[in-house]
Amino acid sequence: MIKTFIDKLLGKPIARSRKNPFGKREELPASVHGINPELVDDRAIDVVRTLKNAGFEAYIVGGAVRDLLLGLRPKDFDVATNASPEEVKRLFRRAFIIGKRFRIVHVVYGRGREHEVIEVSTFRAFLDNSQAEQVSGNERTSKQQLMGMQHAVDASGRVLRDNVWGPQDQDATRRDFTINAMYYDPQSQVLVDFHKGIQDAHKRVLRMIGDPEQRYREDPVRIIRAVRFGAKLAHLGFKLEAKTAKPLVACEPLLHDVPQSRLFDEMLKLLLTGHATASIEQLQKLGLAKGIYPLLDVVVERAATPLVQAVLQDTDRRVAEGKTCVPSFLLACVLWQDVQAGWQQRLNNGAHSFPALQDAIDEVFERRIGDVSGRGKLAADMREIWAMQPRFDKRTGATPFSLVAQGRFRAGFDFLRLRADVGDADEALANWWQLFQYADEAQREDLIAQARDEQRQRQKTQKPKAARKPKADDDGSASPLEAAGVQAGEEGDAPAKKRRRRRKKSVGETTSPAQE
Select from 336, 491, 489 the least CA-distant residue to 424.
Answer: 336
Whether 424 sits among the annotated catalytic residues: the reply is no
Sign of CA dihedral 289, 292, 296, 298: positive
Select from 369, 59, 14 the least CA-distant residue to 186.
Answer: 59
CA 89 and chain centroid, separation: 29
Calpha distance 56→79 (Å, rounded) = 12
Hey, what long-range contacts does 371-375 have (CB within 8 A, 24 or more apart)? 371/260, 372/260, 372/261, 372/264, 373/261, 373/264, 373/265
Calpha distance 64→66 (Å, rounded) = 5
> Which residues on adjacent β-strands are paired with residue 182?
193
Whether 128 sits among the annotated catalytic residues: the reply is no
Calpha distance 361→147 (Å, rounded) = 49
Calpha distance 81→51 (Å, rounded) = 8
Select from 79, 83, 219, 232 the least CA-distant residue to 154.
Answer: 219
- The residue from 46, 76, 414, 426 that is catalytic is 76
Write the CB contacts of 322 (distance below 8 Å, at least 6 apart in sequence). Answer: none
Strands 26-28 and 190-193: antiparallel
- The residue from 41, 67, 169, 176 that is catalytic is 176
In 3-state terms the chain splits into helix, strand, coil percentages (rounded to 5) of 50, 10, 40
Calpha distance 118→105 (Å, rounded) = 8
Sign of CA dihedral 108, 100, 58, 197: negative
Cα end-to-end distance, the chain, whole Å: 123
Question: Helix axis angle, 294-301 relative to 276-285, nearest 10°?
Answer: 100
CA atoms within 13 A on the CB side of 320: 9
In single-letter form, the type of residue at position 480 comes to: P
Whether 67 sits among the annotated catalytic residues: the reply is no
Calpha distance 90→48 (Å, rounded) = 14
Distances, alpha carbon 76 to alpha carbons 116, 117, 327, in Å = 9, 8, 20
- Residue 260: helix, strand or coil by DSSP? helix
- The residue from 41, 67, 78, 128 that is catalytic is 78
Q: What are the DSSP calls for 272-324, one per residue? A: HSS-HHHHHHHHHHTT-SSSS-HHHHHHHHTTTSHHHHHHHHHHHHHHHTT--
Which residues are part of the catalytic machinery? 76, 78, 176
